[in-house]
Amino acid sequence: MRVTEVRVKLNLTSTDRLRGFCSITFDGAFVIRDIKIIDGPNGLFVAMPSRKLMDHCPQCRSKNHMKARYCNQCGAQLNENRAGPDFDGRMKLHCDVAHPINASCRQQVSETIIAAYKQEVERSKMPGYVPQNLEGDDYMDEGAGTTAAAQ
């Protein structure tokens, strides 16, 4: 599988560790959106899109986020420790929507996204810079986005 396009939207206004979002296209046919670029303690890393895990209220069976203390529907108190631990022993509150299956694919995706991020940071320093559009129907328009070939 070959990376055919990477679009990066910088998070220029924030002072937190989130540096931007990106979308990546494989073989001009499959896109993954809402990938986060984060400045961690060991440098930049890529966080794949995820969703909050939910479970059902034991009384009314409506769905609630794992961190909720009370049911959103009936107001019943929920067990705060109902989420199982992840491999680090912390509560598992999120689940990846999409992610690479093996280390070499993860490395290729991360390196491509970080290179596109650095290229977008340089572009942002130029006069007349216009941020990338990650939404909408123009996603596969000719010349849109930062194109990055697989390494």
Taking only the tens place, the pLDDT of each residue in 68-113 is 889 999 999 998 777 777 777 777 788 888 999 999 999 999 999 9
Across the chain, mean pLDDT equals 85
On the CB side of 48, CA atoms within 13 Å amount to 15
The single-letter DSSP state of residue 146 is B
Q: What is the pLDDT of residue 149?
A: 42
CATH topology of domain 3-49+97-140: Arylsulfatase, C-terminal domain (3.30.1120)
Is 119's pLDDT higher than 50? Answer: yes
Confidence label for 21 from pLDDT (cuts 50, 70 and 90): very high
Q: How far apart are CA 37 and CA 13, in angstroms?
A: 15
Mean pLDDT calculated for residue range 132-150: 53
Where do the structural domains in the chain lie, given as residue ranges? 3-49+97-140, 52-94
